[in-house]
Structure 1
Amino acid sequence: MNAGLMDELVTVQQFTTTTDSNTGEKLQSWTTYSTPWARIQESESGSESVDSDRREAKQTVTFSLRYDSGITTKMRILWESKYYNIINIADLERRMYLRLQTELVQ
């Protein structure tokens, strides 16, 4: 893969749980894990499904970035003010790059 094609800055976020020291309440939020440069490939064809009489369109986007062993399918991508759940991770070129298949969060 040509590294020059990775021309978009994205944010990889992880879900975290912390405990409020004053109240003991558990607080859950998304926090920034990393902000790598990525190549973005938007799918030309999405998919639709019908669930409980409601039509749902799914937009898939593939993000290719430098290898990071800490990225998991429990994380998400923030790009252009939209969130994408990571649904699949592929290792490319012997751990040089990752290809993240994602779905837009509706």
Structure 2
Amino acid sequence: MDAGKFNRRITIQQPTVGRGTSGGRTTAWAEWKKVWAKVTPLSGNERRSTDHGGEKSEARTEFIIRYRLGITEEMRIQYKGKNYNIKHVKDVNDEHDIMVLTCDTGMNDG
């Protein structure tokens, strides 16, 4: 893949677990790496968010990056002020060169 296609800066975040002021568990997001990516919006739709009505917009986006060891579906991507849940991590052709991260904007906003 042409290096010039990686023209968008994204931040990959990982969850960190800590203790709140009352001693309970809290989850926060910490920066793992900033990388260059090719960003491709795939689809968007609205779905019911509760049984009592209301709709939530959801978008599916593909982020193509250079291979990085350690990226999992537990992480998320921050891009242009939005959080994207990583739903699938694919090492293209198992060559450790290019990765495709398929994401959605679902419910994981930190």
TM-score range relative to shorter protein: 0.7 to 0.9
Which AA in structure 2 matches 1:48?
Answer: E
Contact residue 6 and residue 37 of structure 1 kept, 8 A: yes
Distance in 1, matches of 2:23 and 2:82, equals: 32
How big is each residue's C-alpha offset from its partner over 1:21-76, in whole Å with a ceiling of 9 and x where there is no partner?
xx866553100100010000012x32333341333331011100010121000000
User: Which amino acid in the other structure matches residue 36 of structure 1?
Assistant: V
The percent of aligned pairs where both chains have the same amino acid is 28
Question: Structure 1 residue 19: deviation in Å?
Answer: 4.9
Work out whether residues 82 and 105 of structure 1, in 8 Å CA contact, stay in contact via their aligned partners in 2.
Answer: no
Structure 2 unaligned segments of length 5 or more: list them.
none
- Post-superposition offset of 1:17: 1.6
**TM-score (normalizing by structure 2):** 0.81
Separation in 2, partners of 1:72, 1:80: 21
Coordinate RMSD, CA, aligned: 2.2
C-alpha distance in structure 2 between counterparts of 1:103 and 1:28, whole Å: 20
Q: 1:48 to 1:35 in 2, by over 3 A?
A: same
Counterpart in the other structure of 1:48:
46
CA change 1:27–1:58 in 2 (3 A) is: closer
Q: Secondary structure of the equivalent of 2:71?
A: coil
Take 2:55 and 2:40, find their aligned partners in 1: how far apart are those partners? 25
**Which stretches in structure 1 are left out of the alignment for 5+ residues?**
none
Question: Could you say if the C-alpha distance between residues 24 and 9 of structure 1 is closer, same or farther in structure 2, counting changes exceeding 3 Å?
Answer: same
Q: How does 1:72-83 map to 2 (within 5 A)?
A: 72-83=72-83
